Amino acid sequence: MTYVAPLKDMLFVMNELAGLKQINALPGCEDATPETVEAILEENAKFCGEVIAPLNFPGDREPSFWHDGQVTTAKGFREAFKAFGEAGWQGVQHPVEFGGQGLPKLVATPCIEMLNAANLSFALCPLLTDGAIEALMTAGSGEQKQTYLENLISGKWTGTMNLTEPQAGSDLSLVRTRAVPQGDGTFKLFGTKIYITYGEHDMAENIVHLVLARTPNAPEGVKGISLFIVPKFLINGDGSLGERNDVHCVSIEHKLGIKASPTAVLQFGDHGGAIGTLVGEENRGLEYMFIMMNAARFAVGMQGIAVAERAYQKAVQYAKERVQSRDLSGSPGPVAIIHQPDVRRMLMAMRAQTEAARALSYVTAAASDAAHHHPDEAARKANQAFYEYMVPIVKGWSTEMSIDVASTGVQVHGGMGFIEETGAAQYYRDARILTIYEGTTAIQANDLVGRKTARDGGAVAKGIIAQIRRTEEELAAYSSGDLAAIRQHLSAASKALEQVVDFVVANVKSDVKSVFAGSVPYLKLAGVVLGGWQMARAALVARQKLDQGEGDAAFYTAKLATARFFADHFLSTAPGCRALITEGSAGVLALSEEQF
């Protein structure tokens, strides 16, 4: 049940692929020296492994529960969250001005991975709080920042995102919650919000709800949605906690997984109105929410990588311990199942996908840092565009693969995997939410097709493909062996991706349904090709280190083999996937509703 953070891989990716040194050289990132970063990661790994990870399995067996409007979180969560806040982990990426550590996103990202690998349910509370901080940083007034940020960043208070309503899930235009101005600068909110993660709990003194609602006479649809702060307890002029606000948790959901994370139904205004204040300007709520959602989407992608890593570690441990059947090439007696080729294949598939997604996400995080801190405007713009293209892929692909990886983890355990006390099944259940919340994979794919590909005529996508071509050229220096095989697959895969981008751009107006019928396959293809690209870059570095006799040879040979496996088993699927996108829509759309 233990979790040991893969620090070696994390640092390799940060240093060799994501360019930690270059990020450290940016103005505002001076503190993030490789040495400091390594020390921070080691400390975080220790905290996550020792304090948070042990709460994961018990929290699943005895989840958070609701009674009479109160939510009692799983055993140990309160104390752990207090320790988390006190150690400053909530503040890693937030401004020093409000008590944070002001470190780059590239440094916060492995910390987020570790926390989620340790305990997905626990980590959701900081994840949502990060979102609230981000939204207030972007759109909050000076007073709002003063009132809320320090307490959120210290872990004294926590934050939530209130979007969904029973009739408004993926389609936020249907939001009905009302916000009525009181003439004193405050609003009274009335409505029901569902699926509110940590919408009620006992881990912090106050809960800061960020709520989408409509003011009177607001335009219909998404253009009439505003964002409000509605704290659980009102805040007095001196910053102390005042009256209980009129927002109440009427139930929490009985879920397939992440059971220790309370998912609340919140009633706003059943007893006179929940008092809130407007964030930013009226009717721009969705825009602000999107800023926080981009960060949250990236973080959910990290959740996928995290649970995949955890499932992988558990499967490896079992495969090394479970003795069953002889070795295929002969052995005196039964051997550990890790000797069986199919168990190897499963473990390699888990490992390769996890490492590829990790590399892609860290590189994306570094782009976000460069987008914020680079002195050159063109570089900022280019990095921002890269980041924005990647977010739906990091979210969509990492989470889709995490379900597959967690399922494979169960399979490695055989019958034991199906028994809850083993723990492998929890990852299979927990992972299942990740492709759904913060926008389903289809919603990510819509974003990828619409805003990220079609809008600029595929320019950003093509720019990234050009970067892949440069990696292919570097690989061309090797005429045989793993790197040559990787190059062959990467080259076919990047061609496939380019064809899909061309298809999307050419047809999105004339044949919108066909293009969107292939949107999720496009997203998955992009994930595979871009993840495979990062593995190819990793393989190049590993080969060079080995040739130079530098560093940990076992690590670098494993990295090479894992990159080779990724190319052989995942990049190889790209051309088939291309065909189903560009030629596969006929069957998707042929049936009438009645024929289903």
d(C-alpha 148, C-alpha 277), whole Å: 12
**Contact criterion met (CB below 8 Å) for 179 and 226:** yes
Task: Tell me how far apart the 2 most distant CA atoms of the chain are, in Å.
Answer: 85
- Contact segment (CB under 8 A) with a copy of itself among 11-19, 46-54, 102-110, 333-341 equals 333-341
Using DSSP's 3-state secondary structure scheme, residue 333 falls into coil
Name the residue type at position 346.
M
Q: Counting contacts by CB under 8 A, is residue 334 touching a copy of itself?
A: yes
- Contact segment (CB under 8 A) with a copy of itself among 45-53, 126-134, 314-322, 381-389 equals 314-322
Q: Counting contacts by CB under 8 A, is residue 324 touching a copy of itself?
A: yes
Among 185, 341, 375, 549, which residue sits at the site for a copy of itself (rule: CB under 8 A)? 341
Least gap, CB of 137 to a copy of itself (angstroms) = 28
d(C-alpha 25, C-alpha 22), whole Å: 5
Q: Hey, which residues between 495 and 514 contact a copy of itself (CB under 8 A)? A: 512-514
Report residue 176 as tokens: 């009905």
- Contact segment (CB under 8 A) with a copy of itself among 84-92, 236-244, 348-356, 471-479 equals 348-356
- Contact segment (CB under 8 A) with a copy of itself among 133-141, 376-384, 440-448, 499-507 equals 440-448
Helix (H) or strand (E) holding 189: strand 186-197
- Contact segment (CB under 8 A) with a copy of itself among 211-219, 278-286, 456-464, 569-577 equals 569-577
d(C-alpha 17, C-alpha 313), whole Å: 23
Report residue 25 as tokens: 């050289």
Which is closer to a copy of itself, CB of 297 or CB of 339? 339
**Contact criterion met (CB below 8 Å) for 32 and 23:** yes
Size of the site for a copy of itself (CB under 8 A): 105
Least gap, CB of 3 to a copy of itself (angstroms) = 15
d(C-alpha 228, C-alpha 189), whole Å: 9
d(C-alpha 411, C-alpha 148), whole Å: 46
- Contact segment (CB under 8 A) with a copy of itself among 93-101, 126-134, 148-156, 318-326 equals 318-326
Q: Hey, which residues between 465 and 494 contact a copy of itself (CB under 8 A)? A: 482, 485
Q: Counting contacts by CB under 8 A, is residue 558 touching a copy of itself?
A: yes
Among 441, 471, 494, 534, which residue sits at the site for a copy of itself (rule: CB under 8 A)? 441
**Distance separating the N- and C-terminal Cα atoms of the chain:** 44
Among 20, 74, 352, 366, which residue sits at the site for a copy of itself (rule: CB under 8 A)? 352
Q: Hey, which residues between 368 and 407 contact a copy of itself (CB under 8 A)? A: 403, 407
Q: Counting contacts by CB under 8 A, is residue 575 touching a copy of itself?
A: yes
Among 225, 319, 359, 501, which residue sits at the site for a copy of itself (rule: CB under 8 A)? 319
Which is closer to a copy of itself, CB of 214 or CB of 564? 564
d(C-alpha 460, C-alpha 456), whole Å: 7
Among 77, 437, 503, 533, which residue sits at the site for a copy of itself (rule: CB under 8 A)? 437
Among 2, 33, 170, 236, which residue sits at the site for a copy of itself (rule: CB under 8 A)? 170
Least gap, CB of 319 to a copy of itself (angstroms) = 8
Q: Counting contacts by CB under 8 A, is residue 286 touching a copy of itself?
A: no
User: Which residue in 400, 438, 473, 550 is the catalytic one?
Assistant: 438
- Contact segment (CB under 8 A) with a copy of itself among 77-85, 145-153, 295-303, 346-354 equals 346-354
Q: Hey, which residues between 191 and 250 contact a copy of itself (CB under 8 A)? A: 194-195
The DSSP bridge partners found for residue 196 are 264
Among 234, 316, 382, 506, which residue sits at the site for a copy of itself (rule: CB under 8 A)? 316
With a CB cutoff of 8 Å and minimum separation 6, the contacts of 365 are: 18, 104, 105, 106, 108, 109, 298
Q: Hey, which residues between 410 and 429 contact a copy of itself (CB under 8 A)? A: 410-411, 414-415, 417-421, 425, 428-429
Among 116, 151, 294, 340, which residue sits at the site for a copy of itself (rule: CB under 8 A)? 340
Please, what is the angle between helix 459-475 and helix 377-412, to 10°? 70
Q: Counting contacts by CB under 8 A, is residue 160 touching a copy of itself?
A: no
How far, in Å, are 177, 195, 304, 445 from residue 164 at the CA level? 10, 7, 22, 20
Query: Considering Cα of 358, then 363, then 367, then 370, what sign does the dihedral take?
Result: positive
d(C-alpha 252, C-alpha 196), whole Å: 9
What are the φ and ψ backbone dihedral angles of 82, each rounded to 5 degrees? -60, -45
Least gap, CB of 589 to a copy of itself (angstroms) = 6
Least gap, CB of 216 to a copy of itself (angstroms) = 22
**Contact criterion met (CB below 8 Å) for 470 and 478:** no
Which is closer to a copy of itself, CB of 29 or CB of 117? 117
The DSSP bridge partners found for residue 211 are 162, 228
Q: Counting contacts by CB under 8 A, is residue 12 touching a copy of itself?
A: no
Report residue 164 as tokens: 């969904």
Q: Hey, which residues between 71 and 100 contact a copy of itself (CB under 8 A)? A: none
Report residue 394 as tokens: 């990091």
Which is closer to a copy of itself, CB of 150 or CB of 498? 498
Please, what is the angle between helix 519-548 and helix 341-373, to 10°? 90
- Three state DSSP letters for 454-493: HCCCCHHHHHHHHHHHHHHHHHCCCCCHHHHHHHHHHHHH
Q: Respond yes or no: is residue 79 known to be catalytic.
A: no
Annotated active-site positions, please? 438
